[in-house]
């Protein structure tokens, strides 16, 4: 755990809080908001307490409280104001900040308490769309800018997956709709980012559809085994980091069509970042791309 990030540059604070580094410097100079340590070369760096304080200040400021008023409050009063505003309805921003702090502290209890507080007013589906998806998008940007380590990203991902799996488990005893089509959910070889696919599985199961969840890194050839058991199959996959290049994606889709979409009733539905490499006319027959889980669900 010694290499876990607990020391941040001012650029890190900007990436995490959304407050521009220039504004943070002004707040420091004018209001003594944060008291950074400095390196021998006079470069600012900040600890977790400074990060937590800035997140709370950013939350209050985004909810209409002027910075000149916020800086006059004690830390306890700032926390009280955050709780009060969150309780009045703007809980999404507060919850995302709380999940971020749970990540930086590797605090499982804080993650659990934040999640349980959300469940008191939202459904799991609402939490995923309104809280978890924006949080995961932020995590992706923070990882790309080296603001967080892989350990931080994995901490959040594992806990979100636990909640999805828990809600899927509640649906396992439900009988699927009679004579329904079968959805086979999988990730291509060397693709391991399965949170989105897991949630699609939850959405399908909650609507009474029959699903077979195969998970990550599935060789295309092994998918042919399911063709022997089901007539009407819709394959669903996520292309997040694999296949890598546009040409690789096109080859994959063509091979998939030849091997697995021989029946008129078979389809391939796709989601993920790599679809941005494709044009609308790049999709073979019976293959469809969706830009969000919500739009995919509308097709059910």
What are the tens digits of pLDDT across the range 152-191? 889 999 999 999 999 999 988 777 776 678 999 999 999 9
- pLDDT at residue 89 is higher than 70: no
Task: Examine the fold and report which residue of 47, 65, 88 is the final residue of a domain before the chain moves on.
Answer: 88
| Residue 195 vs residues 97, 128, 132, 200, 280: alpha-carbon distances, Å | 20, 11, 10, 9, 26
271 in Cβ contact with 220 (< 8 Å):
no
The pLDDT value given to residue 175? 74
One domain, residues 278 and 186: yes
Which backbone phi and psi does 268 adopt, to 5 degrees? -130, 120
What range defines the domain where residue 144 resides?
98-170
45 in Cβ contact with 39 (< 8 Å):
yes
- Percentages helix, strand, coil for the chain (3-state, rounded to 5) are 55, 10, 35
Establish if 93 belongs to a structural domain: no
| Residue 270 vs residues 3, 68, 151, 222, 235: alpha-carbon distances, Å | 37, 49, 28, 18, 8
One domain, residues 293 and 179: yes
The SS3 call for residue 244 is coil
The pLDDT value given to residue 18? 85
Establish if 134 belongs to a structural domain: yes
The pLDDT value given to residue 203? 96
Mean pLDDT in residue range 53-65 = 86
Mean pLDDT in residue range 232-254 = 93
One domain, residues 203 and 247: yes
What are the tens digits of pLDDT across the range 198-223? 999 999 999 999 999 999 999 999 99
Mean pLDDT in residue range 6-24 = 87
Residue 81 CB contacts under 8 Å (≥ 6 apart), including other chains: 60, 65, 73
The pTM assigned to this predicted structure is: 0.79
**Orientation angle between helical segments 150-169 and 133-144, nearest 10 degrees:** 160
Task: Examine the fold and report which residue of 170, 187, 216 is the final residue of a domain before the chain moves on.
Answer: 170
Mean pLDDT in residue range 47-72 = 87
Per-residue confidence band for 16, with pLDDT thresholds at 50, 70 and 90 = confident
Per-residue confidence band for 3, with pLDDT thresholds at 50, 70 and 90 = very low
Measure the N-to-C terminal CA separation of the chain; round to a whole number of Å.
Answer: 45
d(CA 188, CA 126): 28
CB burial readout 20-36, b (16+ within 10 A) else e: eeeebeebbeeeebbeb
Count of domains for the chain:
3
Summary mean pLDDT of the chain: 88
Mean pLDDT in residue range 58-76 = 88
One domain, residues 195 and 161: no
The pLDDT value given to residue 1? 37
């Amino acid at each position: 755990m010694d290499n876990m990030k607990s020391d941040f540059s001012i650029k890190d604070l900007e990436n995490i809080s959304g407050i521009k580094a220039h504004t943070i410097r002004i707040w420091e100079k004018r209001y003594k908001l944060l008291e950074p340590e400095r390196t021998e070369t006079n470069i600012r760096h900040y600890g977790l307490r400074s990060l937590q304080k800035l997140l709370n200040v950013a939350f209050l400021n985004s909810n209409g409280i002027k910075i000149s008023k916020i800086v006059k409050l004690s830390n306890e009063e700032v926390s009280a104001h955050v709780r009060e505003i969150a309780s009045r309805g703007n809980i999404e921003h507060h919850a995302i900040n709380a999940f971020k702090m749970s990540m930086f502290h590797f605090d499982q209890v804080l993650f659990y308490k934040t999640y349980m507080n959300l469940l008191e007013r939202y459904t799991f589906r609402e939490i995923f769309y309104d809280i978890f998806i924006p949080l995961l998008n932020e995590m992706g940007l923070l990882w790309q800018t080296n603001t967080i380590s892989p350990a931080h990203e994995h901490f959040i991902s594992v806990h979100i997956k636990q909640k999805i799996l828990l809600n899927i488990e509640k649906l396992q005893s439900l009988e699927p709709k009679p004579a329904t089509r079968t959805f086979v959910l999988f990730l291509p070889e060397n693709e391991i980012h399965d949170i989105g696919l897991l949630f699609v599985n939850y959405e399908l199961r909650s609507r009474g559809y029959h699903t077979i969840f195969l998970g990550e890194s599935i060789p295309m050839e092994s998918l042919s085994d399911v063709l022997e058991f089901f007539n009407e199959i819709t394959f669903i996959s996520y292309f997040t980091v694999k296949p890598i290049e546009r040409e690789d994606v096109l080859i994959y889709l063509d091979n998939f069509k030849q091997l697995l979409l021989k029946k008129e009733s078979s389809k391939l539905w796709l989601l993920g970042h790599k679809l941005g490499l494709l044009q609308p006319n790049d999709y073979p027959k019976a293959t469809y791309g969706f830009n969000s889980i919500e739009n995919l669900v509308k097709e059910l």
